Amino acid sequence: MRSRLWTLVALFGLTTLLTAGEFNPVKNIGDKAPVWQDLPGVDGQKHSLADLQAKEVVVVAFTCNTCPYAVDYEDRLNQLAAPYAAADSRVAVVAINCNLVEEDSLEAMKERAAEKKFAFAYLADTSQQSGKQFGATRTPEFFVLNKNREIVYMGALDDSTDADKAQTNYVRLAIDAALKGERPQKTETIAIGCNIRYKRSRR
């Protein structure tokens, strides 16, 4: 009985290692991206991953209104998205807010998007399922999906939380690589930011 238990523990550990990334508890590089459906955006529309079928690359950023790190990254996220804002762009940038506090409500998100003139779709996920399925734990945290909707990069936007010291934009490099049908040299980094405020489920 004891040996069987240890075998199950070992198999569980092996399965976890095979399915989770170096820093992500759920997803690994090369995994298919989770699908989100009908998430309300600040534009008053419902958004789904299927809407982006024509895009060769999709960048998903988990962010919010209330985290100081996320706020510090707003301008950098906007700068990243601006070149891809045209309808015929090969790249789409989507931000998802999974927090449930009042300051992260859809109405508050609309105010922030208008104030900052966001060049990307900003969606609310009150179910929090998208964040959980991506294994996102921080705000901000980024995922780059290729044409086959496989994850080719996940982690931080760049190499410093101080904008003046940032030299390498990992997400932009991942976009460029994915557009060529390649994987970026750096596929995973540690996302630094506030914890996503997931609702605790009762056992």
The angle formed by the CA atoms of residues 138, 25 and 5, to the nearest 5 degrees, is: 150
> What is the distance between the alpha carbons of residues 46 and 107, in angstroms, rounded to a whole number?
15
Q: What is the pLDDT of residue 60?
A: 98
Helix, strand or coil, per DSSP, at residue 27:
coil
Domains and CATH numbers, the chain: 29-195 (3.40.30.10)
Nearest in space to 134 (alpha carbons), one of 48, 36, 33, 15: 33
What percentage of the chain reaches a pLDDT higher than 90? 88
- Backbone φ, ψ for residue 155 (5° rounding): 140, -140
Q: What is the C-alpha end-to-end distance of the chain, expressed in Å?
A: 26
pLDDT tens for residues 165-187? 999 999 999 999 999 999 999 99
> What is the distance between the alpha carbons of residues 21 and 75, in angstroms, rounded to a whole number?
28
Nearest in space to 141 (alpha carbons), one of 36, 62, 41, 64: 62
What percentage of the chain reaches a pLDDT higher than 70? 89
Place of tokens 């960048």: 59
pLDDT tens for residues 47-86? 999 999 999 999 999 999 999 999 999 999 999 999 999 9
